[in-house]
Every structure is written in C-alpha cells, then in structure tokens.
Structure 1
Amino acid sequence: MMQKKQRHFWMAQIGGWSLATFLNIVINQLLQPYPGLVMASILAMSLGCLTTLLYRKLIHRWGWRNRSPRGLVIPVLFSVPVISTLWAVSFALAASLFGAWLGIPRAPFLQYFLGVFVSGQMIILIWVSSYFAYHYFTKFSQAEVEKWRLKAIAKEAQLGALKAQINPHFMFNALNNIRALILEDQSRSREMLTHLSELLRYNFSSNNQQLVPLDREMDIVRSYLELVSIQYEKRLFAQIDYDRTLSEVLVPPMVIQLLVENAIKHGVALSPDGGKVMIYAERVGQLIRLVVKNTGYLQAQERLEAPSGVGLQNIRERLRLLFDDKADFRIEERNGWVTASVLFPIEEMI
C-alpha cells in the first residue's frame, strides 16, 4: 500500500510540474514572449518541484497528515506564502548567478523574485490542496475498506458461532439433555429451553453489531454454561466475576463466549475429573481486560481453535480492526492453568 502511494505521488509530482511548465511557457509566449523564456520557465518550475518536495517532508515531520481538514486551514494559509517565498528566492538567486549561462535575460533580483512569488502562491496552494485531497481520499477509502472487512469478519464469526451451536452434535446433546430433564425436573427443563432460546436469539440480534455491553455478553455466557452444565454436571465448575462498574463497557460480541467454548473443549472435556473455568473482567487504567482461565495445559491446546471454526486469528483480526494496535490478545499456561486474555480500550455506551 505504501509503495503504491509513493508511486502515485511521484507520478502526480512529475506529471503535474511538467504540465505546469508547459502551460507557463505557452501562456507567457502568448502574452509577452521574450528570449530565454523557455529556460526561465524550466528553471522556475524545476525549483518549484524541489521546493514542494521539501514542503512534503515538513508536512510529514509536523504531523499535518493526522490533522482534520479544519485544523489544516490556518497552518496551510500561513505556510503557503513562506514556501512561495523560499521558491521565489531560490529562483532569483539561480537566475542571478546562472542566468547568463542559461540564456535568461538580466534583470534585478526583485524582478526575478516577484516573477515567481506572485503566481507561485497560487501554484503552491493548488499543490498542497491536491496533496491533502488525495491523502484524505485514500484515508477515507481505506477506512471504508476496513469497515467492510470488519463487518465481514464479524458476520463470519457470528455465523460461525451460530453454526457451531446448532450443529447436530450440539443440538442433539442440548435437546436430549433437556428432554431427560422434563421427567426429572420440569422447572429446570423449562429454564434450559429459555437459555437455549436466549443463546440463539443473541446470535441473531448481534448480527449487525460490532460492540455490545459487557453485561449482555456475560448473560449469554451464563446461558451457554447452564446448557453445558447439563452434560458435564459436577465435572464442570464455572465462575463469572467482574466489577459491575464495567457493565456498560462495550466489548466485541461472542469473544468471551468463543474463549469459554475453547476452555471447555480443550481443557475440561479432556480431563476425566473435569475442571474449572474462571471468567472475569477488570479495569487496567483506561483499558479493560477480559480473562478466561481453565485448568489444563497449553500442550493440549497447541492447535487451539474455536468450535465455530473461526479460530484465534479471527479474534485477533477483529481486535485489530476495532482498536488498531491498542488491543492485545494472548494465551499463556502457568501452574496447571491456561489463561486467555483480551485487552483493549474502554468504550462505554452513550
């Protein structure tokens, strides 16, 4: 992408200044032709091209490309005369020193200077306006691409999780366990059906959402754990704990749920005695950390992958698109516990 932008810049820079040189020669020939006009135009426009290259370096150093268009108005209006002055002075010096050798008629330094300075301000203004117009256009285009990529990945994750939850194995176990409960505990069987419907409804309702409140995500995790507990019974011990002041903090939907599914599948399910799953959230300065811990060893999870088939790479990509480089996702194993943690900036509901 960077190489493509560089190529576009140099094409526009060389092509634009070549066109400006041609138009300057033609217009001056029509209005007031004089000997040495062609060389004077070529010298002036060549120095203008070099001056704008310096201007571009200063724009990068001053960080102007990160400013809003409104924030650029005053800096640009002040810098255009300065850059035009630099251009005009360089031309006046070059013409005074090498004019005779280049065939440019002798003239006072001020005449050389004004010859470039007057029209140079308009040319520099056009150059810098075109430069930032291209920059904002590409930035907007890239943002649109990233937005649609995020939607596509979120859609893939949502559909993948839904597919995993309604696959024949999951549905057979859930419905078969609920059916067995009907004869034993009708109240609990109705409760399990409610959890199943909540789980499916959540997947449908979060279809177009990039972020959801932490409270809502944790409620769905509880519903999932209630359903799974029918199958694992006492082999599964799960605990959810988080500061209620974080209830309205927005989190990517299904990230915690996918990590819990991984923890059960690759931790609890592999042990004859079952295991524990601990889910919690905590504030770390201006960040929030979501943590899912399970008993087990990372060796058994070397090819860890979410049941939805989306996998850890999908979670990493979603975090990158949502939070750029401000998010962190890692999995570690220590003292018989595997810990998956997600860290990203706090963003609350308005």
Structure 2
Amino acid sequence: MNKNKIYWFLQITGWSLYNCNEIFAYSLQYGYDNTMIFNALANIVLAILLTHIFRIVVKKLNWIKLSLAQLAFRVCFGVAIMTVIVVGVNLPLDAKYVGELLNQKPILVIEYFINLAKPLLVWVLIYIFYNYSEEKRQREIEELKLKSSIKESEAKVLRAQMNPHFMFNALNSIRALVLEDPSRAQQGITQLSNILRSSLLADRRKTVSLKEELRTIEDYLALEKVRYEERLQMKWDIAPETLNIEVPPMMLQTLVENAIKHGVQKALNWGFVEINTSTAKNKLYIKIRNTGQLQGTESKSESGGFGLKNTAQRLDLLYGNEASFRIYQEDNLTVCAEIMIPLSNTDNRSTSSEVKSVASAVVTS
C-alpha cells in the first residue's frame, strides 16, 4: 500500500472512529437518536475536507521548512480557522442537545469550541510531526549522497595528482638505460607500461587487490634499481592471506617511492625498503620500513609531505575513522610507515604459490 492510500485509509478510519465515539457519548447523555448518524456523517466529511485542505496548503507553501516559531504560528492559525468552521456547522446540528444549555450559559461556547478544536489539533500535530521527520530524513539522505559524491570527487583528484609526480621519476629511470643498455631500456618501457596500466585503472577503481599493488611496486623497484644499483635493497614479508585483500590503488607505491626518495637516496652507502603485511582482529596491517630519518619534506609529524598527506586523506575518504596511518622514527636509522585497514567480506585467501610469484621479483643487492 502506497503512502497516498495509507493517508486516505487513516483519514476515513480515524475520523469515523472519533465520530462513533461521539455518538456513543451523546447517546449515554441524551439518549440515542437517528439524527446522530447524520450529524456524524456530516462531521466526518467536514473533518476530512478541512484537514485535507490544510495538508494541501502545508505542501504547497512548504511550511515544513519554516522555522519552529513560524510553523507554530501557522499551525495555530490553521487550527483556529478549521475549528471556527466546525463550530459554525455543529452549533445548529447540536442545537437539539446542547442548544438550551448554551443559551443559558453562553460562556460554555468556549468549552464547546475547545472540545471541537482538540481532535483537529491532534490531527495537525501528528501530520506536522510525521512530515517534519520525513523532511529531516530526506535531508539527511541528500546530505549523505552529497558527501559521498564530494568524497568520490576528492578521491579522484588525489589519484590524479599522484600520476604526474610518479611518471616523472619513472621516466628518469628509463632515460638512464637508453644509451647504456637498450635491451634493458626496452624491458624498462614494458615495466613502465605495466605501471601506467595500473595507474589508469587506479582512476577507475576505488580499490585493487594487494597482489596487484605489489606487482606495480615490483615494476617500480626494477626501474629504480637501474638508478641505485647495489645501493637499493628490498625485503618482502608478505602474509599469504593478505594478497587478495582490497587496498587503495597506487597508495603503497607512493609510500615506497617516498621511502626511496627520502631514505635510500640520502643513504651514504646503501639503503633498504621492507614491506610487511599481516592480518589481526579483522584488520589488515601494512608496514613499510626504510633507511632514513624523519626530516625535511617529511618533517617529524605523521602527515608531512605530499605523499603522506595523500595517503592519510585517501584512507579517511574510503574508510573514515576505521582506518589509520602513521609514520614514525623506529630507531636512529630506520623510518616506519604503518597502515591499518578494516577488512571487508572480500575473500582474502591466497595460496603460497602466489606469495612466491610476488616475492620472486624481489630486488636485493
């Protein structure tokens, strides 16, 4: 049953029951009379007509969006007008029963007016409360939709901002190979192509599997190995059950890039980057450890640097307070970035062979 049918059912049923109660009360006091049925039918039709007109006015003039004071004034005014009309109709209809009493004590007209106003006021308050609740619920839904749309737009902007910065570093790595080792340069172009494909998918998807993200990191590290050679060492500690878990695309790659730029690049002899993944208490934990110290663009805060701010923002947009990110100085020579992501119902099972396929391309000195 739709809302319109429910409305008319409640209108007819409610006013019919109310007037049946009035017939019963009048019968006990004055004795039953067939004219009471006619009076009741007249009041049912009148009450439905007046309250329906009131409903039309409320909707057309959009009273629900008014302030409480403005709404209260209009409600009182509307109830007063409807009551005057109902009193004007009922005075001649009830003259047979209460006419003599009202003539003897005209002050009782006020009580008569109040008694007829009560059901109208109750109807109006119920109707206003229901519509106010519906309006509030609709506003909340619209706000949620708007916030969701804004967050999605912000997430796309953040992903788009990463791509030029990443491309610049990747192309620099390939450029070093063009004259020295053309065959490796071709391989580097293939690796860059893989990275670009992942980057394009990142603009279309909110999340990718951790396995896909690690493959992108493999290609990136292979290109960086050209620049740093023996200075770059890579360590992997990937839990098998984490490979199919969904993560924000290009997020880990950004942190690895940050680790190399602010850690390995500044190391005197050699540096390392280590990726560790595990699950506990229905959460995914990712650690990226690297040689270095928190300073310069990274600062000593947990949100310094573009890549770090980007990571924190994207996690907040996707998971809210359920996810967390921090970066800290683990010891004098090691920086650690930690990410915690809540697990969904996505199947995160994997086989040991998948871990081997990811770890087979580990870049070590």
Is the structural similarity TM-score above 0.5? yes
User: SS of the residue aligned with 1:248?
Assistant: coil
Per-residue CA deviation, residues 154-201 of structure 1 (Å, 9 max, x unaligned), is: 22232222201333x64133233255222xxx3x44432221110011
Is 1:302 aligned to 2:299, yes or no?
yes
The corresponding residue for 1:137 is 138
* Matched-pair contact (CA < 8 Å) for 2:83–2:120: no
Matching residue of 2:259? 263
Query: Aligned in 2, Cα 1:120/1:23: closer, same or farther, shift over 3 Å?
Result: closer
CA contact (8 A) 1:327 1:343 kept: yes
Aligned alpha-carbon RMSD (Å): 3.3
CA contact (8 A) 1:214 1:250 kept: yes
Q: Distance in 1 between matches of 2:336 and 2:109?
A: 76
Three-state SS of the structure 1 residue aligned to 2:272 is strand
Which residue among 310, 313, 319 is the counterpart of 2:309?
313
How do 1:205-216 residues align onto structure 2 when only pairs under 5 Å count?
A: 205-216=201-212
Gap runs ≥5 in structure 1 = 1-7, 35-101
> Counterpart of 1:327 in structure 2: which amino acid?
A
Which whole-Å CA distance do the structure 2 matches of 1:271 and 1:320 have between them?
A: 32
- The answer for the alignment partner of 1:334 in structure 2 is 330
- Hey, what's the Cα distance between the residues in 2 that align with 1:178 and 1:304? 39
Displacement of 1:23 in angstroms is 0.6
Deviation sequence 1:62-102 (CA, Å, 0-9, x none): xxxxxxxxxxxxxxxxxxxxxxxxxxxxxxxxxxxxxxxx9
Q: Distance in 1 between matches of 2:250 and 2:272?
A: 20
Greater gyration radius: 2
Deviations 1:212-258 (A, max 9, x none): 11111111111111111111111011123222212221111111111
Does the Cα contact within 8 Å between 1:305 and 1:311 map onto a contact in 2? Answer: no
Q: Does the aligned pair in 1 maintain the 2:64–2:128 contact within 8 Å?
A: no
Which residues of 2 match residues 114-153 of structure 1 at below 5 A?
Answer: 116=118, 118-119=119-120, 122-153=123-154
Alignment correspondent of 2:358:
none
- Check 1:331–1:9 CA distance in 2 against 1; reply closer, same or farther (3 A cut): farther
- What is the CA-CA distance between 1:320 and the residue it aligns to? 1.7
Give the aligned partner of residue 164 of structure 1: 165
Q: SS of the counterpart of 1:269?
A: helix
1:17 to 56, 59, 72: 72
Give the TM-score normalised by structure 2: 0.64
1:181 aligns with 2:236: no
Change in CA separation of 1:305 and 1:324 when aligned onto 2, cut-off 3 Å: closer
- Report what 1:345 is aligned to: 342
Query: Residue 303 of structure 2 contacts residue 312 of structure 2 at CA under 8 Å; is this kept in 1?
Result: no
Deviating above 3 A after TM superposition, structure 1's stretches of 4 or more consecutive aligned residues are 8-12, 102-107, 118-125, 188-191, 303-307
Query: What fraction of aligned residue pairs are identical, expressed as a percent?
Result: 23
Q: TM-score, normalised by structure 1?
A: 0.67
Residues 340 and 16 of structure 1: CA distance in aligned 2, closer, same or farther (over 3 Å): same
